Chain A
Amino acid sequence: MLKIKDLHANIKGKEILKGINLEINAGEVHAIMGPNGSGKSTLAAVLAGREIFEVTHGEILFNGKNLLELSPENRSREGLFLGFQYPIEIPGVSMVNFMKAAVNEQRKYRGLEPIAPSDFLKLMREKKELVEIDSALTNRSVNEGFSGGEKKKNEIFQMAMLEPKLAILDETDSGLDIDALRIVANGVNKLKRPDNASIVITHYQRLLDYIVPDYVHILYNGKIVKSAGKELALELEEKGYDWIKNGE
């Protein structure tokens, strides 16, 4: 589904990603872990098409397409989803209008008519239940005045609405209490299908008690320095990141 080959990326002339290789197949859950500042969010942003990062080398194929040539909106329409570490507040734009625009633009890309208003409301209701999001939140402006936990739930809600092929969740667990964490993880697990995949970025093992990854990668200083099965997360939990930083 996703093939990243020797990816290098800069911001303001400073190299942040220094040769990433990663392959993800349908049905898999990959966890990316690593200390702060390693480049995890940068990787996620480059995948989503953030322009401030300049890709200087490498290639990304997403379902056979050259991802780097696609606009952010077309990446999304092709089935990529980024759950933001810091979701953006958009005053004045209601959740309902935002989601309606998103759903309809995705449909248009697939040659479908705009969704019927009643179907849209039904879809909203269904997905809200899935992530146990307060109904009142969707009547408000996007993320405006949402608590940290509500913002994260809202990311999962949007993911549920759009049903992406590949979801990248950037520290969706940080700042969540244990209940919210369970809800978020539950949402992710319920949306899991044999034909989709996810990348879960976290720096705690905690989330991985709920979302069981098939692979765990450690990103450090712009490179994936170690990849293994889920047991790697436990090892990290025990030993911390120092052994990685000190080059083992």
Chain B
Amino acid sequence: MSKTTNISIKEELVDLYLSNLDLITDNSTPTLNRGRQSAIENFNLLGLPDAKNERYKYSKIEPLFTQDLEKYFAPKDITFKIDDIFRCDIPEIGTDLALVLNGFYLPKGDKLTKLDNGLIYGSLAEASIKYPEIVSKHYNSIADNVGEGLVALNTAFVQDGVFIYVPKGVEMNRPLQIINLLMSDENLLVQYRNLIILEESSSASVVVCDHSLSSQKFLSNVVTEIVAKPNSKLELVKMQNEHNDSTQLSHVYIHQQKDSKVTTNTISLHGGFIRNNLNVLLDDAGCENSSYGLYLMDRNQHIDNYSFIDHAKPHCTSNELFKGILDEQATGAFNGRILVRRDAQQTQAFQANNNLLLTADAKMNTKPQLEIYADDVKCSHGATVGQLDLEAKFYMQTRGIGEKEAMLLLMIGFAHDVVKKITIEPLRERIDELVNKRLRGELSRCHNCPMHCC
């Protein structure tokens, strides 16, 4: 039965591609078009991840695609002034701001912005015309189109997304912010693509915020490729804050070259169904990777974090910390795969996943997966699923702190372990504040935003 549905969903998507091929390619660019044919062939082979796919054991993908979803191959005309409806709170940290609406870059002026220091950001489609050599060299170079059906699907349909290019030696000291907005009067499937390139010895920090601004069903299938060249440094903070009828399938691929340092921090505040795939390749000596995540789920929300840290070369360090709080009937999964290849001597790899379940109905599946083929390595992993510490709660109560407040303080403290890893101080404070509000039930959105999207 599920086999038949699978085939039909897959065929439907392939059909959609074939019957709209002209529209898809005409609205796009040679660089983005180049990968489509083989991608759809791969997708035709792979299909959507199904029950037999061990990596997707706890997240059923097929049913997500059976909903009625509109697809657009060019930006849909939505006439509004973005400033009227959306004022995100985080820009106060002095960021450069890039807006993406339903997967299409939303220019305030030009489709590409070049800062004084040479940093370029803007529309990926536009970049593939203006800087074809840079884009074609990196685009689709690290995303896995052969093993991951959802990525192949994205590559076949992609139209736009965000492009960030940090030239050699450029140190961007203020964060660049990308805000992904979903807004539509129909249910929508969006599949966009981000490409972030850090040239040698450059550094940048990027904040990505995902929001839904209308109550329709959204399914985002998003691929982000990050190339960190020798001695470069990136901090990426991703805030997921979409409503309970939205689904996000995120695939991040990071290619780290010699002595590069990449930190990602994925804060899942809200969302109906979230699957985060994080794939890190440590491809030369001296790389440092930190992957952090925090998820706060309630009602029937579902979160699934999958990470794959590939220690391909010696003398690299990776550090993972994922923490989550699940309330009511929320469900979650964590699968942390670490591969230490035979040549990757002197690897240090650490992983921890800690979870708090606030109710008997909330469920969490956590699975470390270490494959170590080198002998001179230092690895550790630990996973916990527990409840709030009642002794600590009582201790606080004996100081006059009410039971609810005591529980909140404990949860905030638990979450802060992840938030404190954010090095951009104003951003860390802001996120702390958002997390506090989220846990207090006061937040379903950034608090300056007038839209009630959750």
Whether the pair B413, A72 counts as a contact (CB closer than 8 A) is no
| Contact pattern, A 137-161, Cβ under 8 Å of B = 1, otherwise 0 | 0000110000000000000001000
Instruction: Say how far A46's CB is from chain B's closest CB, in angstroms.
Output: 12
B399 lies within 8 A of A158 (CB): yes
Determine chain B's interface SS by DSSP, over half rule.
helix
- Determine the distance from Cα of A135 to Cα of B400 in the docked complex, in whole angstroms: 23
Which of B403, B409, B415 touches A98 (beta carbons < 8 Å)? B409
Residue contact A93 to B400, C-beta cutoff 8 Å:
no
In the complex with contacts A91-B413, A92-B412, A93-B413, A101-B401 CB distance below 8 A: yes
Determine, out of A3-11, A59-67, A74-82, A240-248, the stretch whose residues face the partner at the interface.
A74-82
Closest to A107 in B: B400
Judged by a CB distance under 8 angstroms, whether B350 is at the interface is no
A90 within 8 A of partner (CB): yes
A102 touches B413 (CB 8 A): no
**B410 and A101 within 8 A (CB):** no
User: Considering the chains assembled together, what is the distance between the CA atoms of A77 and B414 in angstroms?
Assistant: 26
Size of chain A's interface in residues, with CB distance under 8 A?
32
A92 and B401 within 8 A (CB):
no
Residues of chain A within 8 A of B410, CB atoms compared: 90, 92-93
Task: Knowing A88-B392, A105-B405 are in contact, say whether A81-B398 is a contact too (CB < 8 A).
Answer: yes
| Docked complex Cα distance between A92 and B415 (Å) | 8
- Residues of chain B with a CB closer than 8 A to A109's CB: 400
B413 partner residues in chain A, CB cutoff 8 A: 90-94, 141
Q: Is the CB of B401 within 8 A of A102?
A: yes
Contact flags (1/0) for B357-401 with A, using CB distance below 8 Å? 000000000000000000000000000000001011011111111
Pick from A89, A93, A105: contact of B402, CB under 8 Å:
A105
Question: Which chain B residues lie closer than 8 Å to A50 at the CB level?
Answer: 394
Is residue A162 contacting chain B, with contact meaning CB distance below 8 A? Answer: yes
**B-facing mask of A77-121, CB < 8 A → 1, else 0?**
100011010011111111001100110011001000000000000
A72-B399 Cα distance, complex, nearest whole Å? 8
A36 at the interface (CB under 8 A from B): no
* Neighbouring B residues of A106 by C-beta, 8 Å: 400
A105 & B400 in contact (Cβ 8 Å cutoff)? yes
A31 cross-chain contacts in B, Cβ below 8 A? none
A178 to B403, CA, bound (A): 37
Give Cα distance in the complex from A82 to B413, angstroms. Answer: 23
Scan A183-212; emit 1 where CB is below 8 A from any B CB, else 0: 000000000000000000000000000000
Q: Does A48 contact B (CB under 8 A)?
A: yes
Q: Are B405 and A90 in contact (CB under 8 A)?
A: no
Q: How many A-B residue pairs have CB under 8 A?
A: 81
Asked, given contacts A97-B409, A101-B409, whether A88 binds B401 with beta carbons under 8 Å apart, the answer is no
Is A73's CB under 8 angstroms from B409's CB? no
Which of A75, A90, A162 lies in contact with B392, CB distance below 8 A? A90
B68 contacts the other chain (CB 8 A) = no
**In the complex the two chains form, what is the Cα distance from A36 to B402 in whole Å?**
32
Select A162's contact among B399, B409, B414, B416, beta carbons within 8 Å: B399
Interface range on chain B: under 10, 10 to 19, 20 to 34, or 35 or more? 20 to 34
Q: Is A56 an interface residue (CB 8 A)?
A: no
Instruction: Report whether A49 and B409 are in contact in the complex, using a CB–CB cutoff of 8 Å.
Output: no
Min CB distance B416 to A, Å, is 5
B398 and A101 form a contact (CB under 8 A)? no
* Chain B positions 407-430 with a Cβ under 8 Å from a chain A Cβ: 409-410, 412-417
Give the residue name and chain of the B residue nearest to A102 (CB). Answer: B399
Contacts of A72 in B (CB 8 A): 394, 397-398
- Please tell me if the beta carbons of B409 and A88 are within 8 angstroms of each other in the complex: no
B403 contact set on A, CB distance < 8 A = 71, 73
Q: Which of B392, B396, B409 has the most CB of A within 10 A?
A: B396
With A71-B397, A76-B398 as given contacts, are A101 and B392 in contact (CB-CB < 8 Å)?
no
Contact B417 A101, beta carbon cutoff 8 Å? no
CA distance A93 to B417 in the complex (A): 10
Q: Which residue of A lies closest to B397 (CB)?
A: A72
B387 to chain A minimum Cβ distance, whole angstroms, is 15
| Cross-chain contact B401 with A73 (CB below 8 angstroms) | yes
Residue contact A101 to B405, C-beta cutoff 8 Å: yes
List A contacts of B396 (CB < 8 A): 90, 98, 101-102
What's the Cα separation between A88 and B401 when bound, in Å?
15
Find out whether the CB atom of B399 lies under 8 angstroms from the CB atom of A92: no
- Listed residue (A51, A73, A82, A101) with the most chain B CB atoms within 10 angstroms of its CB: A73
Across-interface contacts of B414 in A (CB, < 8 A): 91-92
Mask of B216-258 contacts with A, CB within 8 angstroms, 1/0: 0000000000000000000000000000000000000000000
CB distance B398 to A82 under 8 Å? yes
Whole-angstrom distance between the alpha carbons of A51 and B398 in the complex? Answer: 12
Minimal Cβ-Cβ distance residue in B for A141: B413
Contact B395 A162 (CB under 8 A): no
Given A75-B398, A92-B412, A101-B405; 5 other pairs, CB 8 A cutoff:
A90-B392, A90-B409, A93-B412, A94-B413, A105-B401
Which residues of chain B have a CB within 8 Å of any CB of chain A? 389, 391-392, 394-403, 405-406, 409-410, 412-417
Write 6 A-B pairs (CB below 8 A) sorted by A numbering.
A71-B397, A88-B394, A90-B413, A93-B413, A101-B401, A106-B400
